[in-house]
């Protein structure tokens, strides 16, 4: 028996979004904005850091989710029809992230310790204006391609154009996020470098994206009227992807840790030292390893954990929280290893980002068909392999 | 294209096992001759010593190690297609995965020869094996060379087990279609398989477990091989990107080898109905992805060489791109990263000539890449007084060519004596589709 | 001695087989064996015997492999306790490689031998009821029933679309 849910009619659209959703979202934005503004007065360095870490987290999540929906289309996956629309909705959040990135330029001196230092031959690369320009252009390109892709879907344009945009977007994601990883995170410790770090950062975005899609699939399927389309089979496949990417993250982490540990070279080990020798970073590193990396994998090995929506959602939330911790651990020990206080401002600003995400994506999901006709048409193509 | 019936799969695949023609046996004989020549030359190398080959201070690793890495890499696409695509329930793999798996087994057998050949005094190979002894002497498990032994041995065993498991139902089909001695031999190999539900339920569960285990194994084996280089100090070797870079390159080369093997296979064994151009097209599409990732890796590695501000790393990267073996470096970038982009055009990935030609370029590029990685780092390391050059001698070239003969010899035997397409799995989509309607 | 009859049927269409299984299940039949040229996991719910311990055994084999791998590495390093390259003898990071490989090796071998054992795949002669067409394009259904039920089972199988039905001899 095919355990994938059978296609039925969804409840139709536009779907009403409960008022309390918008109210909570607005409240979150207000809380986040207030935390940011007040924090600028009391502790600007920590406040800019909190905004920066949130930017890294939410940009990876949103771009990762969009990239997944594009990848599903390029790979001609038929089981992801309603999930694709959830990924498309994330495109509406990208312009907000662009604005945040532009705002981060104002706080650059708190974020990038190499500004104003002697960088030798690297000064041409590690120049704040040049860096923000190239990264901003990359994010802009990604945003424009995402919008173009979703527009082609809305126009039911199944021509070559959709495939071309999709492939371009996939390539752009990899290159842009590699660049972001090197520019925004690796450069926080200018003496340190790791060739795989850009790839690791890009992979983290995909991991965040699939976790977010899993949470959305579980929590929104009722509202979107696609319970019949998002069933045990879809949950199992989402769980398998989540598990695979947890393994991949562990692999990318280990691929960096092993050569660095083995050769023990000062320019490389300088990144690891605060994270494995100082508290609370050491304890947090262990938590990260056994939740975000190995923990998610171990939990999802059991098939029932994947097939039940509640447990899948719980594990996906663990992955999301773990990656939040990961972003925090990537930045804070490099910039402020002595700042060991609980990052309440980080959480409050995070609520603001969450509110903005809901505020931008909910209207899209409300007025868009839960399943695109383009995705339904894909089913017929699979007959080729029978 | 008319859909094949269930019986057609049996007939077409089992018909390919008919006794070989004269050209076939001539090809087998030629390959055997190549192996014998290689064996004689290897024997000569053992007697006369490693001075016969081109490696010397400071370049201690040369063509043999490049061949080892290359052949291990070839094997990875087979496991990707048979295990990873099985877990993703990709249907187009059904017609081609058996040949790809066989390619894996024979490629790993070929790769395993080279550490022995490179050892020189091959009779001491057993020193690296972990066995209890009275002096409590154990291999250094922190050494990447010991990791290699464990990883490659595991890969060979699991690949053989996985390959044989998939063969069992098909061996039973061949048993049922043959008589006499062939019937008895295939019957022995089929282990009494009858296709009972009680057999299938355990078999499918076990096969899925093997696929789930083979998947991380694919990634781990070539990562372990990459760490032979990455955990060293040498500029050009010591890089964190090596593990995924090697794995992607392995899959890239393996896909090219699959295409190059399947094109003549489907023609000479009359399997064009079963192994369609559409299958080859899917492999070509995957090569776009792997080729793009290879190009990304080259760019990132070059960038980090400059960014890291290490003068040794910078001088090495600049030399590799502009002097010495720069021709090999740019050839590898073109063959691996740029040539496969031609597969974006449908005509390129559906035309057998272009498929074959581009796959050949990829194979050439990947071999060059292994060679560039192995040789250039030791040729141009920290001290200018150490800088030197390397050229393989006739001994290395002969043994390298003999290894190709060894690989093709086993593949030719496989092509005519074992079902090259999975009969049982090829039937599954039709059967499943029929059951979907009633479920 | 309780004699039972064996009814062997041959189906050309898997849908007929599924229908027959459903009806036989409604009739309360438990002793059934299906022969097919391809795996039919879709029929799991129609047959009394389901699932397989192979997965659990594979997990056990894998865990054993992991433990053996780490034990071999750490144990052998502690025998002499030499400090090499400034690293602790019992460094876990490099030993993850050996531990992981042995996890896969023992897990894979356990899965393989478990399949051979549970599926009774050793070189045994093919049972008499087996028809070579079951490896080609036909599906077999063998029902073991009481003599009094033979006629009704035979009729049920024909109605479900069986191409051939052989009411076999007694089976003690």
Mean pLDDT of chain A: 91
pLDDT at B110: 97
pLDDT at C1: 47
Over residues B388-417, the pLDDT tens digits come to 999 999 999 999 999 999 999 999 999 999
Cβ separation of B439 and A2 shorter than 8 Å? yes
**How many residues comprise chain C?**
172
Cβ separation of A262 and C94 shorter than 8 Å? yes
Q: What is the mean pLDDT of residues A224-253?
A: 91
Best CA proximity match to A162, nearest among A151, A152, A173: A152
DSSP SS3 for B83: helix
Given a cut of 80, whether residue A380 has pLDDT beyond it is: no
Cβ separation of A258 and C42 shorter than 8 Å? no
Over residues A300-310, the pLDDT tens digits come to 988 888 999 99
Cβ separation of A386 and B3 shorter than 8 Å? yes
Q: Which residues on C lie below 8 Å from B187 (Cβ)?
A: 123, 126
Q: What is the mean pLDDT of residues C37-56?
A: 84
Residues B130-148: b if buried by 16+ CB within 10 A, e if exposed = beeeeeeebbebbebebbb
The lowest-confidence range among A164-168, A239-243, A368-372, B254-258 is A368-372
Percent of chain B with pLDDT over 70: 99
Over residues A32-66, the pLDDT tens digits come to 999 999 999 999 999 999 999 999 999 999 999 99
Chain B nearest-CA distance from A260, in A, is 8
Residue where the block lists tokens 């030499």: C82
Over residues B268-319, the pLDDT tens digits come to 999 998 999 999 999 999 999 999 999 999 999 999 999 998 999 999 999 9
Give the C window 64-93 contacts with B, CB below 8 Å.
Answer: 72-73, 76-77, 79-80, 84-85, 87, 91
Q: What is the mean pLDDT of residues B197-226?
A: 94
Q: Which is higher by pLDDT, C127 or B362?
A: B362
Over residues B326-342, the pLDDT tens digits come to 999 999 999 999 999 99
Q: How many Cβ atoms from other residues are within 10 Å of residue A104's Cβ?
A: 20
Q: Spell out the residues 6+ positions from residue B50 whose beta carbon is closer than 8 angstroms to its own.
A: B120
A34 in contact with B at a CB cutoff of 8 Å?
no
User: Residue B382 and residue B233: Cα distance in Å, rounded?
Assistant: 10
Structural tokens at position B22: 């004269």
Nearest CA in chain C to B157: C105
Q: Which is higher by pLDDT, B423 or A3?
A: B423
Q: Which residues on A lie below 8 Å from C83 (Cβ)?
A: none
- Alpha helices of B231-351 — where are they, by DSSP H? 242-268, 277-307, 311-322, 326-333, 346-350
Residue contacts between A and B (CB atoms, under 8 Å): 87
Which of B91, B150, B185, B194 is the best residue to mutate to test the C interface, defined by the most C CB atoms within 10 Å of its own CB?
B194
Question: pTM score > 0.95 for this model?
Answer: no
Chain A nearest-CA distance from C72, in A, is 20
User: Residue A204 and residue A247: Cα distance in Å, rounded?
Assistant: 11
Q: How many Cβ atoms from other residues are within 10 Å of residue C57's Cβ?
A: 21
B92 in contact with A at a CB cutoff of 8 Å?
yes
- Kindly list the distances between the CA atom of residue A208 and the CA atoms of A133, A140, C129, C130, C171, in Å, as whole numbers in the listed order: 25, 20, 55, 52, 61
Q: Which residues on A lie below 8 Å from B239 (Cβ)?
A: 195-196, 259
Q: Which residues on A lie below 8 Å from C44 (Cβ)?
A: 1
- Kindly list the distances between the CA atom of residue B363 and the CA atoms of A150, B243, B290, B295, B402, in Å, as whole numbers in the listed order: 38, 19, 13, 15, 17
User: Residue B69 and residue B225: Cα distance in Å, rounded?
Assistant: 7
Structural tokens at position C166: 């052989």
Chain C nearest-CA distance from B421, in A, is 14
Give the nearest partner residue to C93 out of A1, A2, A261, using CB atoms.
Answer: A261
Q: What is the band of A381 on the pLDDT scale with cuts at 50, 70, 90?
A: low
Percent of chain C with pLDDT over 70: 95
- Determine the Cα angle at A260 with ends A259 and A261, to 5°: 90
CB-CB contact of B207 with B182 (8 Å) = no
User: Residue A151 and residue A174: Cα distance in Å, rounded?
Assistant: 22
Chain A nearest-CA distance from B345, in A, is 12
Mean pLDDT of chain C: 88
For chain C, domain boundaries: 4-37+137-171, 54-118
For chain B, domain boundaries: 6-128+138-438
Give the CATH fold of the B6-128+138-438 domain. Formate dehydrogenase/DMSO reductase fold (1.20.1630)
Rg (CA), chain A: 21
Given a cut of 70, whether residue C170 has pLDDT beyond it is: no
Q: What is the band of C48 on the pLDDT scale with cuts at 50, 70, 90?
A: confident
Q: What is the band of B119 on the pLDDT scale with cuts at 50, 70, 90?
A: very high
The lowest-confidence range among A176-180, A197-201, B130-134 is B130-134
User: Residue A195 and residue B429: Cα distance in Å, rounded?
Assistant: 43
DSSP SS3 for A9: coil
Give the B window 218-277 contacts with C, CB below 8 Å.
Answer: 220, 224, 227
Over residues B165-195, the pLDDT tens digits come to 999 999 999 999 999 999 999 999 999 899 9
Give the nearest partner residue to C45 out of A1, A2, A262, using CB atoms.
Answer: A1
User: Residue B356 and residue B264: Cα distance in Å, rounded?
Assistant: 10
Q: What is the mean pLDDT of residues A115-120?
A: 90
Given a cut of 50, whether residue A1 has pLDDT beyond it is: no
Give the nearest partner residue to B231 out of A121, A258, A267, using CB atoms.
Answer: A258
B346 in contact with C at a CB cutoff of 8 Å?
no
Mean pLDDT of chain B: 93
Cβ separation of C42 and A2 shorter than 8 Å? yes
Q: What is the band of B435 on the pLDDT scale with cuts at 50, 70, 90?
A: confident
CB-CB contact of B66 with B118 (8 Å) = no
Q: What is the band of A13 on the pLDDT scale with cuts at 50, 70, 90?
A: low
Cβ separation of A122 and B309 shorter than 8 Å? yes
Q: What is the band of A12 on the pLDDT scale with cuts at 50, 70, 90?
A: low
pLDDT at A253: 96
Q: What is the mean pLDDT of residues A344-356?
A: 96
Over residues B213-246, the pLDDT tens digits come to 999 999 999 999 999 999 999 999 999 999 999 9
C42 in contact with B at a CB cutoff of 8 Å?
yes
Given a cut of 90, whether residue C35 has pLDDT beyond it is: yes
pLDDT at C168: 62
Percent of chain A with pLDDT over 90: 76
pLDDT at A385: 57
User: Residue A116 and residue A245: Cα distance in Å, rounded?
Assistant: 39
Give the C window 97-136 contacts with B, CB below 8 Å.
Answer: 97-98, 100-102, 104-105, 107-109, 111-112, 114-116, 118-127, 130, 132, 134-136
Residue where the block lists tokens 């060519």: B401
Residue contacts between A and C (CB atoms, under 8 Å): 12
Rg (CA), chain C: 25
A261 in contact with C at a CB cutoff of 8 Å?
yes
User: Residue B287 and residue B357: Cα distance in Å, rounded?
Assistant: 13
B437 in contact with C at a CB cutoff of 8 Å?
yes
pLDDT at C111: 97
Nearest CA in chain B to A253: B240
pLDDT at C2: 56
CB-CB contact of A335 with A111 (8 Å) = yes
Q: Which residues on B lie below 8 Å from A71 (Cβ)?
A: none
Over residues B92-101, the pLDDT tens digits come to 888 899 999 9
Taking the CA atoms of B320, B321, B324 and B326 in sequence, report the sign of the dihedral they define: positive
User: Residue B235 and residue B312: Cα distance in Å, rounded?
Assistant: 6
Multiple choice CATH, C4-37+137-171, 3.90.1010.10, 3.50.50.60, 3.30.70.120, 3.40.50.2000 = 3.30.70.120
pLDDT at B438: 65
């Amino acid at each position: 028996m095919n355990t994938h849910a059978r296609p039925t009619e969804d409840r139709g659209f536009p779907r009403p979004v409960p008022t309390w959703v918008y109210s909570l979202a607005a409240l979150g934005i207000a809380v986040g904005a207030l935390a940011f503004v007040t924090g600028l007065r009391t502790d600007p360095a920590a406040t800019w850091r909190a905004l920066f870490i949130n930017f890294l987290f939410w940009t990876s999540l949103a771009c990762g989710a969009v990239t997944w929906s594009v990848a599903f289309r390029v790979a001609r996956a038929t089981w992801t029809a309603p999930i694709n629309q959830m990924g498309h909705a994330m495109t509406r959040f990208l312009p907000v992230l662009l604005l945040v990135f532009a705002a981060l330029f104002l706080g650059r001196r708190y974020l990038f310790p190499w500004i104003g230092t002697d960088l030798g031959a690297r000064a041409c690369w590690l120049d704040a204006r040049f860096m923000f320009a190239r990264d901003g252009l990359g994010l802009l390109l990604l945003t424009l391609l995402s919008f173009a892709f979703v527009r082609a879907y809305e126009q039911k344009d199944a021509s070559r154009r959709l495939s071309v945009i999709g492939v371009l977007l996939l390539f752009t994601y990899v290159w842009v996020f590699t660049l972001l990883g090197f520019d925004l995170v690796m450069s926080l410790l200018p003496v340190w470098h790791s060739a795989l770090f850009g790839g690791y950062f890009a992979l983290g975005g995909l991991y965040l994206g699939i976790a977010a899609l899993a949470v959305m699939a579980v929590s929104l399927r009722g509202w979107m009227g696609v319970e019949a389309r998002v069933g045990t089979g879809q949950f199992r496949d989402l769980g398998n992807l989540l598990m695979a990417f947890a393994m991949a993250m562990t692999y990318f982490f280990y691929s960096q840790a092993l050569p660095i540990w083995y050769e023990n070279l000062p320019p490389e080990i300088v990144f690891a030292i605060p994270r494995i020798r100082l508290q609370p970073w050491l304890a947090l590193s262990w938590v990260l390893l056994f939740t975000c990396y190995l923990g998610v994998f171990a939990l999802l090995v059991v098939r029932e954990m994947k097939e039940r929506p509640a447990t899948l959602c719980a594990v996906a939330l663990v992955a999301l929280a773990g990656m939040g911790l990961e972003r925090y651990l990537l930045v804070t020990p490099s910039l402020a290893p002595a700042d060991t206080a609980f990052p309440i401002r980080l959480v409050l600003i995070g609520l603001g980002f969450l509110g903005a995400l809901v505020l931008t994506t909910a209207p899209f999901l409300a007025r868009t068909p839960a399943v695109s006709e383009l995705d339904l048409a894909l089913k017929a193509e699979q007959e080729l392999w029978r | 294209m008319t859909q094949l019936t269930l019986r057609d799969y049996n007939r077409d695949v089992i018909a390919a096992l008919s006794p070989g023609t004269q050209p076939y046996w001539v090809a087998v004989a030629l390959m055997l001759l190549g192996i014998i020549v290689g064996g004689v030359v290897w024997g000569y190398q053992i007697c006369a010593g490693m001075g016969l080959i081109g490696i010397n201070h400071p370049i201690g690793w040369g063509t043999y190690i490049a061949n080892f890495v290359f052949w291990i890499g070839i094997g990875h696409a087979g496991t990707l297609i048979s295990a990873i695509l099985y877990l993703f329930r990709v249907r187009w793999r059904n017609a081609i995965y058996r040949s790809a798996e066989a390619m894996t087994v024979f490629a790993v057998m070929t790769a395993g020869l080279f550490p022995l050949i490179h050892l020189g005094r091959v009779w001491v190979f057993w020193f690296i094996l972990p066995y209890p002894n009275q002096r409590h002497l154990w291999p250094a498990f922190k050494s990447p060379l010991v990791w290699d032994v464990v990883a490659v041995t595991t890969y060979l065993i699991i690949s053989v087990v996985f390959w044989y498991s998939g063969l069992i139902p098909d061996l039973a089909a061949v048993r049922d279609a043959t008589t006499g001695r062939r019937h008895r031999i295939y019957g022995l190999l089929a282990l009494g398989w009858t296709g009972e539900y009680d057999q299938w339920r355990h078999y499918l569960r076990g096969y899925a477990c093997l696929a789930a285990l083979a998947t991380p194994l694919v990634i781990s084996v070539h990562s372990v091989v990459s760490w032979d280089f990455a955990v060293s100090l040498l500029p050009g070797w010591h890089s964190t990107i090596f593990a995924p870079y090697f794995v992607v390159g392995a899959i890239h080369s393996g896909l090219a080898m699959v295409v190059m093997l399947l094109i003549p296979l489907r023609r000479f064994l009359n399997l064009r109905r079963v192994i369609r151009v559409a299958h080859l097209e899917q492999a070509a599409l995957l090569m776009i992805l792997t080729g793009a990732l290879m190009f990304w890796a080259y760019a990132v590695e070059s960038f980090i060489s400059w960014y890291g501000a290490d003068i040794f790393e910078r001088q090495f990267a600049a030399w590799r791109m502009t002097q010495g073996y720069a021709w090999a470096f740019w050839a590898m970038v073109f063959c691996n990263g740029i040539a496969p982009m031609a597969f974006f055009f449908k005509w390129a990935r559906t035309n057998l000539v272009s498929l074959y030609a581009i796959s050949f370029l990829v194979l050439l590029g990947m071999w060059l890449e292994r060679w560039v990685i192995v040789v250039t780092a030791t040729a141009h390391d920290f001290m200018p007084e150490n800088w030197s050059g390397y050229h393989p001698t006739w001994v290395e070239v002969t043994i390298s060519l003999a290894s190709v003969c060894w690989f093709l010899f086993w593949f030719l035997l496989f092509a005519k004596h074992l079902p090259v397409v999975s009969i049982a799995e090829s039937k599954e989509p039709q059967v499943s589709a029929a059951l979907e309607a009633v479920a | 001695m309780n004699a039972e009859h064996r009814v062997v049927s041959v189906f050309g269409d898997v849908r007929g087989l599924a229908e027959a299984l459903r009806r036989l299940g409604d009739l309360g039949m438990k002793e059934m064996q299906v022969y097919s040229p391809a795996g039919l996991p879709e029929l799991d719910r129609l047959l009394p015997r389901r699932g397989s311990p192979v997965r659990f055994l594979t997990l056990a084999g894998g865990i054993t492999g992991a433990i053996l791998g780490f034990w071999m590495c750490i144990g052998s390093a502690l025998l002499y306790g030499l400090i090499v390259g400034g690293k602790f003898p019992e460094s876990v990071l490099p030993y993850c490689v050996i531990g992981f490989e042995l996890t896969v090796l023992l897990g894979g071998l356990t899965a393989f031998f478990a399949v051979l054992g549970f599926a009774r795949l050793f070189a045994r002669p093919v049972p008499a009821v087996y028809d070579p067409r079951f490896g080609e394009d036909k599906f077999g259904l063998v029902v073991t029933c009481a003599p009094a039920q033979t006629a009704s089972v035979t009729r049920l199988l024909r109605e479900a679309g069986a191409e051939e039905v052989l009411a076999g001899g007694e089976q003690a």
